[in-house]
Structure 1
Amino acid sequence: MSGPGPERDLGRLLAGLEPQLHPGVYVFASGARVPAGVAAVVTVAEAEGWTVVCERGEAERVGLEYVFPCSWITLRVRSALDAVGLTAAVAGVLAREQIACNVVAGFHHDHLFVPQGRGERAVALLEEVAAAGRSA
């Protein structure tokens, strides 16, 4: 692995958020298995079945019933998996604006799924947090 390691300091995490809004509409679907050929962004195995997050068109293509059409935002700061407070801070900022937020931690970055149509506002709020952190 090259470059600096993952960040744990909450102040530096918030200052370096760099939220990236992905194009498209994403959805959450569930089933007994992940359909072959589906280009999933996230999969989670639960006792009740698999959760699949994918583009709405992918879900429709393979016949998955879905809920929560949403926008996908990646926080490009390289967050450590054991960092404390990032999820709470981000969710709190969005909650104050009544923006629901489903967070998924990846190995390198955190990913947010917010209601469709609220992605640009969520990014703007997160950019304000980052700017405030850089000027602190």
Structure 2
Amino acid sequence: MAIELNHTIVHSTDKKAAAEFLTGLFGLPDPVPFGPFMGVELSNQVTLDYIDVDTTPVPNHYAFLITEAEFDEIYGRIKERGIEHWADPTQTKPGEINTNDGGRGVYFLGPDGHFLEVLTRPYGSGE
């Protein structure tokens, strides 16, 4: 059986701003409107479909596996933009990155409080 994640819906108070935050930070193509959504397509063909909601979105966690070079670029933008970030999901190591499993990772918040993470090695791949 070949099961793949195709898309997920991301609740937002401003779908355009939230989608552009992600594409700008990650260096991705501009979001694409589709019905009530602003779609952000990732390289593995999974789409994050941002949609406006009338209530405060329930924060979710989104982790993105990236290359070492992409980490340098994205982390540079995080620091350049003064985005608060942590080495850990419990937010006890502010302004730091982690080196879990021989890679690098960092956590930060998106505009609607979604907990975003970029990492260069999948957890458990260890070195």
Taking CA–CA contacts closer than 8 Å with sequence separation of 6 or more, which of the two structures ends up with the larger relative contact order? 1
Tell me if both proteins adopt one fold, taking TM over 0.5 as the criterion: no
Question: What TM bracket, shorter-length normalisation?
Answer: under 0.3
TM-score between the two structures when normalised by the length of structure 2:
0.26
| More helix per residue | 1
TM-score between the two structures when normalised by the length of structure 1:
0.25
